[in-house]
Structure 1
């Protein structure tokens, strides 16, 4: 049985042609629209429609869900921890030390490889589509879309800021003021290609922070992002003199934790299809808790 996704036409999109709505609003490529046309996969109010037909408020555009033909990565057995899952998306808790997706010389042993195997075990061919990334040593929430339209909608939420990401970090020192905003542009490092740096010619980068708990020599922070630059939190916290504990790239290593004490604690976003809100939390990993416990003992 064919599966369709329904899109009610709202007043602000009235007058657009079906083709323009598919391209501009739903972010379909011309190639995909051609494929849908060949399969008679575009319906307006349950009837076949020409691409140049204008839509009006109250219309229901239905688009055939095209099945994926590959996972996009090599399926590989490995542990995953789903925090939320439905027919359109899945949120996983990524452990520290694991890449989200193959990159460079690494083609296996990533969270995406493990997720592909998870799909395979369910008997589904579903391309792995991470909506955002976490650094290898950062743990916590990562959302993946199960189809291209959900991907486009979630990426839109991410760009608009309605996909809200909250991080927790243990940093060196006490922040003054305890609540604030770091607004400093980030660009490539002048001499180290794998790093980022504060650069007045770089992209705007804004990080909001709040001190959750202060110790004598460290602080537990809650952080939210107004922008999503590579290594943004790490670069910003080092810039203000409070590097993340264990961050070897922008601070220094720590005997307390093998990676960095940075955790993607929660995600909150509107569902891309259903009329509901998704709120997901990933509890602190044991390594993160050990850092907190250590500084708590020093405090005592």
Structure 2
């Protein structure tokens, strides 16, 4: 059975041709549009349409979802914790110590390999498409798109800020002021190539934080990102002189936790196709809770 993604034309796009709408609004490549045309996969108001047809406010455009031919990674049995799933996307709770996707010399043993195996067990082929990444030692919510259309829309949500990510972290010391914004550019570390640092010639980086609880010698923070630089939260909190507990790269390790006490706690975003909001929360891992118990006790 063929699957379609449905779009309702809004007033600001009235007068665009179908081809321009597909390219400029939905970010379809010319090659993909050609493939859709060959398969009669572009339907306007229930009729197959020519690319030069102009759209009007309220028109209903349906676009064929092209089948994936591979997972993009090697399926591998492994545990996954499912937080949300529908026909367009899936959200997983990544454990600390696991890469989101193969990188460098690592081609197996990642969350993406395990997700590909999950798809395989369901009898489905979806290319594994992570919309964002978490550091290896950071736990929590990661969203994956099941098709290229959904990936494009979620990528746009991420860029424009409507895909909202909230983190929680336990940091050293009492943060003063308890609520604030860290606005400090981040670039390459001057001497350590695998690290990042606050660097006035770096890229703009903005992190908002709020203290949820203060303990003896530590604080539980809620953090949101206005930008998405590599290691941003970790670099900014170290720059603030409140490094995350257990962060060996930007602070120091802790016997209480195997990685750093940083957790991607929640995601909130509009569904890319259906007219509703999605809100997902990831439960804290055991060692994160152990850090909280240690400092609150």
- Same fold? TM cut 0.5: yes
Structure 2: runs of 5+ lacking an equivalent: none
Misfit runs of 4+, over 2 Å: none
Please state whether the residue corresponding to 1:126 is helix, strand or coil. coil
Deviation at 1:48, TM superposition (A): 1.7
SS in 1 for 2:236: helix
Cα shift readout 1:156-186 (whole Å, capped 9, x = no counterpart): 1111111110000000000110110000011
Take 1:200 and 1:259, find their aligned partners in 2: how far apart are those partners?
A: 29
Q: What is the distance in 2 between the residues matched to 1:159 and 1:168?
A: 21
Structure 1 partner of 2:9: 9
Partner residue of 1:263? 263
Tell me the matched-pair count. Answer: 297
The answer for unaligned runs of 5 or more in structure 1 is none
Q: In the alignment, what sits opposite 2:84? A: 84
RMSD of aligned alpha carbons: 0.7
Paired with 2:99 and 2:9, the residues of 1 have a C-alpha distance of: 39
After TM superposition, give the deviation of residue 255 of structure 1 in Å: 1.1
Corresponding residue number in structure 1 for 2:211:
211
Taking structure 1 as the reference length, what is the TM-score of the superposition?
A: 0.98
CA deviation after TM superposition for structure 1 residue 199, in Å: 1.1
Instruction: Quote how far apart the aligned CAs of 1:191 are.
Output: 1.8
Alpha-carbon distance, 1:88 to partner = 0.5
Q: What is the distance in 2 between the residues matched to 1:117 and 1:258? A: 26
Alpha-carbon distance in structure 1 between the residues aligned to 2:81 and 2:227: 27
Q: Deviations over 1:238-263 (max 9, x none)?
A: 00100000000111111111100000
Are 2:197 and 1:197 equivalent residues in the alignment?
yes
For 2:270 and 2:185, locate their aligned partners in 1 and report how far apart those are by CA, in whole Å. Answer: 29
1:141 positional shift: 0.4
Q: What's the secondary structure of 1:165's corresponding residue?
A: strand
Aligned to 2:246: 246
Structure 1 residue 296: deviation in Å? 1.7
SS in 1 for 2:278: strand
Query: In structure 1, how many angstroms separate the alpha carbons of the residues matched to 2:53 and 2:189?
Result: 50
Cα deviation for residue 58 of structure 1 reads 1.5
1:30: Cα distance to partner? Answer: 1.0
1:279 alignment counterpart: 279
Name the structure 1 match of 2:122: 122
Corresponding residue of 2:172: 172
Matched, 1:19 2:1: no
SS of equivalent to 1:230? coil
Partners in 2 of 1:6 and 1:205 — Cα distance? 35
CA distance in 1, matches of 2:296, 2:4: 54
What is residue 51 of structure 1 aligned with on the other side?
Answer: 51
CA distance in 1, matches of 2:2, 2:116: 23
Structure 1 CA distance, aligned partners of 2:5 and 2:99?
Answer: 32
Looking at structure 2, the residues matched to 4 and 281 of structure 1 have their Cα atoms a distance apart, in angstroms, of 29
CA distance in 2 between partners of 1:139 and 1:278 (Å): 20
Residues 12-39 of structure 1 show CA distances to partners (whole Å, capped at 9, x for unaligned) of: 0011111110011111111111110111
TM-score, normalised via structure 2 length: 0.99
Match of 1:142 in 2: 142
Equivalent residue, structure 2, for 1:230: 230
| Alpha-carbon distance in 2 for matches of 1:95, 1:4 | 34
